[in-house]
Amino acid sequence: LTDAVDGVMNGELYQESNGPTDCYAAISHVDRLQSEPESIRKWREEQKERLEVLDANSLKQEAEWKEKAIKELEEWYARQDEQLQKTKANNRAAEEAFVNDVEETSPGTEWERVARLCDFNPKSSKQAKDVSRMRSVLISLKQAPLVR
C-alpha cells in the first residue's frame, strides 16, 4: 500500500525529476550518449537539418496562403461591391419605370396595366398556390374586356 502525501511515499522523500537521481547513473547516461555510433549521430544531424528545412518551407507556404487568401478576399469584396452597385442601379431604374407607369392613368387601360403586372407564363411561376383559374380569367378579360 502506497501512502503518497506531500511527496512522501512509504516514509521516504519522493522527488520527481527529469533524469536519473543517482550521480553514477547520470554519468553512465552521458557515457552512453557519447558512445553512440557515428551513423546514428550523423542521422540525427541530417534529421535535424531536414526538419528545419521542412519547418522553413511550411512557414513560407503558410505566408503564401495568407497572401493569397487576402488577395482573394479583396477581389471578392470588389465583386460584391460591383454587384451591389449594379443591383442599386437596376432597382432605381425599375422604381422610376414603375412610378412613371403608375402616374400615367388613362381610362380604359386598367386591364393592360394589370396584365403587365401579371406573369402569364405557368412555368416561371414560383408560387405554391394554383393560380391557373385567376390567370385564365385575366387572359379572357384582356382578350374581351368588359363593356359598360
Domain boundaries, the chain: 107-148
- What pLDDT, on a 0 to 100 scale, did the predictor assign at position 58? 96
- What pLDDT, on a 0 to 100 scale, did the predictor assign at position 33? 65
Name the phi and psi angles at 131, rounded to 5. -115, 20
HEC profile of 98-135: HHHHHHCCCCCCHHHHHHHHCCCCCCCCCCCCCCHHHH
- What pLDDT, on a 0 to 100 scale, did the predictor assign at position 13? 54
Q: Is the pLDDT of residue 9 over 80?
A: no
- What pLDDT, on a 0 to 100 scale, did the predictor assign at position 2? 45
Helix or strand run (H / E) with residue 12: strand 12-13
Alpha-carbon distance 28 to 23, whole Å? 9
91-116 pLDDT, tens per residue?
Answer: 999 999 888 877 766 776 777 777 77
Q: Is the pLDDT of residue 82 over 90?
A: yes
- Average pLDDT, stretch 81-100? 93
Alpha-carbon distance 96 to 90, whole Å? 10
45: confidence class by pLDDT, cuts 50, 70, 90: very high
Average pLDDT, the chain: 79
141 or 107, greater pLDDT: 141
What's the predicted TM-score (pTM) here?
Answer: 0.41
